[in-house]
Copies of this chain bind each other. A is one copy, B any other.
Amino acid sequence: MAGEDRQARGRALLAEINRDAANALFAELEDVAPDMARHIAAFAYGDIWSRPGLSRRDRALVTIAGLAALGHSQRELRAHVRNGLNVGLTPQEIVEALMHLTVYAGFPAAINAVLTAREEFAARGLLPLEET
């Protein structure tokens, strides 16, 4: 597929799942690394997120787990919590996934991630979470 198609497909997917965070990031990159925005759209979303074989909801779960384990990108993590809510993860599932990671990445990484998710939940008026 042509490069323009990858861009278009990635930007369409971003517009669907997280328009505001993508626009904010792309605006910041505009004067310093505009090609990075293009690769985010074309590769991350146009190539990878667009693949069949795993649902968007599962991709959000994998992304959240990976970022929480790495621990160094809380802003990105918050954007993907927002993505996750937009593609069908419940806030309770996100919290449950992060509690699960206490075992594999340790409590501090998991606690940080829960507090980051909490910021997004608060901004959406989702707190307190109802027990499921």
Contact = CB atoms under 8 A, between A and B. Distances in A.
6 contacts: A28-B115, A36-B110, A39-B107, A62-B62, A63-B103, A71-B72
Interface in A42-65: 43-44, 47-49, 51-54, 58-59, 61-63, 65
A103 B58 contact: no
A67 B69 CA distance: 8
Contact of A107 (B40, B72, B115, B128): B40
Given A66-B69, A101-B66, A39 B47 contact: yes
Interface string A99-113: 111111111111110
Give the interface centre of A32, A36, A99 by most chain B CB atoms within 10 Å.
A32
